[in-house]
Amino acid sequence: MSSRCRVVAVGTGTCVPRRDRRGPCTLLEVGAWRAVVDLGLGALHGLLDAGVAHQQVDAVFLTHLHTDHVAELAPLLFAANYDESPRTRPLDLVGGPGVAAFLEGLARAHGRWVEPRGYDLRLREFGPGQGAPVGPVAVRTAAAAHLDSSLAYRFEGDGWAVGITGDTGPSPAVAALCRGVDALVCEASLAPGAGTPGHLTAHQAGLLAREAGAGLLVLHHLYPSADAADPGRYAADGFGGPVLVARDGQEVWRSDRV
């Protein structure tokens, strides 16, 4: 299998419903293997726009369990059983501490309709600093500065590495995890001067990317006020390297264009 990696910003928004930004979801394609990081509102339709049906997703990585990041997990599991072409391929579901209990809660809330039938659901719960191969990639994690169970992820293949922060405040642990990545997909929720803990301004995202020594900084998870405040400029001031303010559906990086 080819290890070429392609990263698509399926959804780049927050909990705020917007026509131009879906809830957070990032697609990684490595050869024929497809993984998503988070499944926010609109993710399944966004994946269709990217040419990926829900049955073709091989792995789901959850950065944390806030509603805006898991809103379409139950719809994915429901569709896996009841699409006219039900799911047969295995599905890896990866998350931090508590994801197993969360999945049990979904089953209690939705009943047997979301319990896997006809396919194997492989649940993997990682603690901070842990990791393992998943599909064709090596995965490592670090604690993100958001919830106690929040994870940032590092994905590595043959000659490339991609970091995805999930929701986080400034974090040396996340910067260390993402050291030297080719692309850092980083939240930039807050407008300049905002003081909400557990999130980043665009300038802070730039500083994190600089500390990590990333090749490219990709901004996502933008609240409307942050979006309107020229986040690319503020991120570039902190980073000093190339910055991309991602839009929904945009291919933001691929390994054969490094």
Residue 137 CA, distance from chain mean position: 15
Say how far apart CA 215 and CA 228 lie, in whole Å: 25
Q: What is the pTM of this model?
A: 0.97
End-to-end CA distance of the chain: 20
Q: What local confidence, expressed as pLDDT, does residue 257 receive?
A: 76
pLDDT at 185 over 80: yes
User: Which residues, 6+ apart, have CB-to-CB distance to 105 below 8 Å?
Assistant: none
Say how far apart CA 233 and CA 239 lie, in whole Å: 10
The dihedral formed by the CA atoms of 71, 76, 78 and 80, expressed in degrees to the nearest 10: -170
Task: Give the tens place of pLDDT for each residue, 55-64.
Answer: 999 999 999 9
Q: What local confidence, expressed as pLDDT, does residue 43 receive?
A: 98
Residue 173: how many CB atoms within 10 A of its CB?
A: 16
Task: Give the tens place of pLDDT for each residue, 101-147.
Answer: 999 999 999 999 999 999 999 999 999 999 999 999 999 999 999 99
pLDDT at 245 over 60: yes
Q: Report domain 5-251's class.
A: alpha beta
Say how far apart CA 5 and CA 139 lie, in whole Å: 14
